[in-house]
Amino acid sequence: MTVCEKTIITTSSNRAKILALHETNREYVLLRSIIQHERQTCGLSSRKVKSTIIHEDNSTYISQLKE
């Protein structure tokens, strides 16, 4: 398995936070689908898994919207 690194340059810290949150969500979805596949392949229970909550600080976005 190879790891692909991407370099992204953003023009603001807000944009960097949005991209980091997006990548976190993408990786989470990928990992969850891998786990589900492995559970099915091994004949393990495929019970419904609770949602995962990802917390983020959006106070900067709110202040920019008010401006």
The tens place of each residue's pLDDT in the chain, 67 residues long, gives 455 666 767 677 777 888 888 888 899 889 988 988 888 888 887 677 778 888 877 777 777 777 7
The confidence score (pLDDT) of residue 4 equals 60
Q: 56 near 17, Cβ under 8 Å?
A: yes
Ordered by start, the domain boundaries in the chain are 8-44
The confidence score (pLDDT) of residue 3 equals 55
Helix residue ranges, H only, the chain: 13-41, 59-66
The confidence score (pLDDT) of residue 6 equals 66
The confidence score (pLDDT) of residue 30 equals 92
The confidence score (pLDDT) of residue 5 equals 62
